[in-house]
Amino acid sequence: MEIEKNNEEKISTLIEDLTSLENYARDLLYFLPLPICLVSPMEIILEANTALEKISGYKIEEIIGKPVEDFFAKEEIEKLLKETREKSFTERKEINIFTKNKREIMVSASTMLRKSEGEIIGYFLGFFDLTEIKKKEKELQIKVKELEKFHKLAVGRELKMIELKKEIKTLKKEPIKGPSV
């Protein structure tokens, strides 16, 4: 009887610990500022955090249970998950996420394969919004083109000045000819 009671207490404690750990993991997932989702082996979204909700415009209830290809270009997400299965993870792969209002947002995706006893049980997908970085990159490209244009003009002007100085030097060395009569 005593052993049975001890076992029941141990089981009860383990259940409490497991519940506490599940709550901790869920709280951490929702706290993270990076969009994250858990995907099943059949490529269905099982869990998502509020950061994914924010970037996509969808409510979590609209995300969970949907195929990942509803939110990403089919070819891009297939390629990403295939590479994840081959390497067990990917890092910083640029793909587009589709928002609820049909906007495409470029994100940097990192993934990790989830396995249990050698079997694939799903994927972790994390994203970093590249919108601002791409915007700055575009602005910098415009500035670089402007600078290249200016450089070309400035160098061309300098080369012309050097050429004119040489011509002046040459003309100074030549004797001055008066008007012919």
Written as tens digits, the pLDDT of the chain (181 aa) is: 777 878 888 888 888 888 888 888 888 877 888 999 999 999 999 999 999 999 999 999 999 999 999 999 899 999 999 999 999 999 999 999 999 999 999 999 999 999 999 999 999 999 999 999 989 999 999 999 998 888 888 888 888 888 888 888 888 887 766 666 5
- 127 bridge partner residues: 109
Helices (H), the chain: 2-31, 50-56, 60-63, 74-87, 131-173
Q: What is the largest CA-CA distance in the chain?
A: 140
Cβ atoms 36, 48 nearer than 8 A: yes
pLDDT for 180 equals 64
Alpha-carbon separation of residue 33 from 48, 129, 151 (angstroms)? 12, 11, 43
Instruction: Name the token pair of 140.
Output: 């910098």
What is the distance, to the nearest Å, from the Cα of residue 173 to the centroid of all Cα atoms in its chain? 66
- Residue 80, number of CB atoms within 10 A of its CB: 20
pLDDT for 109 equals 96
Cα separation of 76 and 68, whole Å? 11
- Residue 16, number of CB atoms within 10 A of its CB: 10
Cα separation of 44 and 165, whole Å? 74
| Residues in the chain, overall count | 181
- Angle at CA 12, nearest 5°, toward 11 and 17? 95
**Residue 92 region, left (φ>0) first, then alpha (ψ -120 to 50), else beta?**
left
